[in-house]
Amino acid sequence: MYTTRIDLPDNTRKSAITLLQPRLADCVDLGTQMKQAHWSVKGPSFIALHDLFDRLATEVYGFTDLIAERIVALGGIAKGTARFVAERSTLPEYPLDIADGDDHVDALSTALAAFGKSVRVDIDEATHVGDQVTGDLLTEISRGIDKQPWLVEAHAQARR
């Protein structure tokens, strides 16, 4: 861990870094899953979903930067390479053989729910270890991520 003048004890910084690294892996994975959907969606809702998935991926990549930059600010190393992420993401594997818009809506909704749940758990944990700023950052991400399932799931809800 690198030294920093942030006035958090080393053990708090280390705990926060340890907490954030899995979310970084998940967030990178989530962004790539959205791009996979963006590239491969087909069907009557193609253009709407194609554009939506691209817009959401851009937002997720912004969350990726927030997490990575917080890790580095705390003195850690943001580990976000494809190989590292592939070994550590906790998100369900994205099905590569789907094309139908409804199937992509279902797969992305599942990934978003899993990521959102993990982020919410980590909000409490960050506060518990004494890093309210990391808890606040995760709250910001949670607020954004919780909006995304609504935008994605709306494409399937009219049929239910």
Confidence of residue 158 (pLDDT cuts 50, 70, 90): low
Topology of the domain covering 10-157: Ferritin (1.20.1260)
Give the per-residue pLDDT at 11.
94
Question: 6 versus 95: which is more confidently predicted?
Answer: 95
Residue spans per domain, the chain: 10-157
**Residue 158 burial class via C-beta count within 10 angstroms: exposed 0-12, middle 13-18, buried 19 and up:** exposed
Interval 38-85: pLDDT, tens:
999 999 989 999 999 999 999 999 999 999 999 999 999 999 999 999
Give the per-residue pLDDT at 1.
84
pTM: 0.93
